Chains A and B, each alone.
Chain A
Amino acid sequence: MTVIDAPATGPDWSSAASNANRRRRYAADRRLRIYGLTAIIIAVGVLVILLATVLTGGASAFVQTRVTVEFTIDPELVSADNIQRGNYRQIITNAVAELFPEIADDRTALTAAGRILTSNAQFFVRDAVVADPSLIGRTLTLAIPASDPFDQLNKGTIARDLPEEQRRVNDRDTALFDQLVDRGLVSTPFNWGLFFNADSRFPELAGLRGAIIGSFYLLLVTLLVSVPVGIAAAIYLEEFARRGRWSRLIEVNINNLAAVPSVVFGLLGLAVFINFFGLPRSAPLVGGLVLSLMTLPTIIIVTRAALKAVPPSIREAAYGIGASKHQMVLHHVLPLALPGILTGTIIGMAQALGETAPLLLVGMNAFLTAAPGGITDAATALPTQIYIWADSSERGFVAKTSAGIVVLLLFLIVMNAVAIFLRRRLERTW
């Protein structure tokens, strides 16, 4: 550098004080970096622990122990004119006796051995025969789910070295089950029932079908209510309302609404929709209305942000050519804001999908063995189903709870991924 007229007394950059000052600043930079890094490590660590527990806990529920049994459909027990009402219980007992000829005469042992199969085994047989009446008089081979204790035994969650009286299965039945294993009759295929069965008292049969359908109806109602209302409200606030005391008041209240604890919305739903309007309890209609109230602020806020992000030059262009307000909004601004609104809506829906507390208050945690057929039928939702299972004492429901959480997380991840994808895809740079 050529120095022209350098001031005679500039700061002395190489003095000890100056060096110390710089060192202190660098040290502060490093500390800030370390704090940040530590925070991230803690956050990621907690997340990993959470996912690991859920995944390891839930993994076993994704397979189901099944026992392959040969049933003889005795025409004496099932008559062709009334297949529904056959004595299927006896068919099961006979099949179990055939399975274990050595205890065929010991009634108590036989009853105990029958408990290796799920208590609903008779309905599996019945349904098979109803579906195909030509089976009467022939034999039928089915892989019947094992009951929860033997499912757990097979999956190794019941420790075999515990003293007999502390185990849920005694030595004799364990020996019988092991005999089945040795004969190659026990298999552990993927548990499709987790998705396609409704809830059940028996963990080996309980599935998420009702909850998934319930959540679907729930989100449908939420979407149909909160999206049109939210977008209309946002357009009004952003494009039509005069900035003033009232619009600020409304704005503050909407932001506050987003921070109201969800339980409060549940209470509101209970008081207003169920007690006042007399809508059915436990129905996705009511749950969806409550969730709409919760998603509404989110949708209004993201829609307003998306509208605000449309550059003023587009509005001016539209006005300049003589477009009226609704033409300016509907033809130009809204289409440009749509990607933002869409991603915001999906994120709002994902929040609604995971919401539990308000649904408990409107009774969507009922024990239901049938999936809902519409928005006014009693239903559960994924998070409330998880809640119900978490509350059930059978060992099998512990794994089911984790598996339910995994399924819920999968849905959430998919929704958020779609939102991110859309944002990337449709994002516009001006």
Chain B
Amino acid sequence: MEQLVAPTSKMGVDVRHTGEAGTTEIKVSAQNVDVFYGEKHAIKGVSVNVPARSVMAFIGPSGCGKSTFLRCINRMNDTIEGCKVTGNIRLDDRDIYDANLDVVELRARVGMVFQKPNPFPKSIFENVAYGPRIHGLVHGKADLDAIVEQSLRKAALWEEVKDRLKEPGTGLSGGQQQRLCIARAIAVNPEVILMDEPCSALDPIATARVEELIDELRQNYTIIIVTHSMQQAARVSQQTAFFHLGILVETGSTEFIFTNPHDQRTQDYITGRFG
């Protein structure tokens, strides 16, 4: 693979750096979260803190529950019949599973980018404009145009599509579609962006673009990314959480997890012994 040694060389600089988690503001905090799909216990007692304005990577072997846990944070699991979530998840000290909480508002504040690019089969403009429009964030056409341009710029897509905003979003290349989906997510100005393997359908060049983008977005947003690529986790994240069979085995600064994991399972996974 491309740069297997990247994390190792990086950690060579400061080996015992434990991250800023202890001092910085916590954006998302989960306590003892369990998720059931009917009888199946998919997530078992997961607790994790996600610092604001940083990137946290969820890694772990396939089927360990990364997506399931990620989808708890914007309550996408509500849409799956038979899925039950218990425990406590807080966004800025607000319980998101509170009966009074408005899911629509939550999902506007916690945006999501999916594994497979899924633009609406509408124009590029409409794809980005849809969110601001339904949430009533804009007043007038000029406002909307501005938001669309701004979002597409942030998603590093503006230069490529500015002359074809009326064309269908589904006509873009895979990488462009994924950036369009990112633009769509940031158009509603979320605080947190959840990304479930956003690069798994992309080639290395498109992947690099998206990773660059994630690095830039970190200035303003809290990002949680699920990835199967150790290199990607090492490149883009500050924090890493390792999941295994529905359990959160270990979490900490990326450098720490990649160089000196406490748990044997983490060690085995990142060195490629299973997964």
Contact = CB atoms under 8 A, between A and B. Distances in A.
Interface of A: 242-243, 311, 313-324, 327, 331-332, 336, 428
B112 interface: yes
Given A243-B81, A316-B114, A323 B134 contact: yes
A242 B83 CA distance: 13
Nearest to A244: B81
10 contacts: A242-B81, A314-B121, A316-B118, A317-B184, A321-B131, A322-B105, A322-B188, A323-B104, A323-B134, A327-B134
A316 B181 contact: no
Given A313-B116, A313-B118, A316-B76, A322 B185 contact: no
A317 B114 contact: yes
Contact of B119 (A242, A315, A317, A322): A317
Given A316-B79, A320-B74, A320-B112, 19 more contacts: A313-B116, A314-B121, A316-B76, A316-B112, A317-B118, A317-B181, A317-B184, A318-B120, A319-B76, A319-B79, A320-B185, A321-B112, A321-B131, A321-B184, A321-B185, A322-B106, A322-B108, A322-B131, A323-B104
A321 B133 CA distance: 11
Interface residues of B, number: 26
Nearest to B74: A320
Interface of B: 74, 76, 79, 81, 104-108, 111-114, 116, 118-121, 130-131, 134-135, 181, 184-185, 188
A317 B114 CA distance: 8
A89 B172 CA distance: 79
B76 A320 contact: yes
A243 B113 CA distance: 28
Contacts of B114: 313, 316-317, 320
Contacts of B79: 315-316, 319
A314 B81 contact: no
B141 to A, nearest CB: 19
Given A316-B76, A320-B76, A428 B121 contact: yes
Nearest to A242: B81
A316 B114 CA distance: 8
Contacts of A336: 121
A161 B184 CA distance: 86
Nearest to B132: A321
Nearest to A313: B118
A381 B202 CA distance: 59
B163 to A, nearest CB: 24
Contacts of A318: 120
B128 to A, nearest CB: 10
B206 to A, nearest CB: 18
B68 to A, nearest CB: 14
Closest 9 CB pairs of A and B: A322-B108, A320-B112, A313-B118, A322-B107, A321-B131, A317-B118, A322-B104, A324-B104, A327-B134
Given A313-B114, A316-B114, A327-B134, A321 B121 contact: no
A331 B135 CA distance: 14
Contacts of B76: 316, 319-320
B118 A332 contact: no
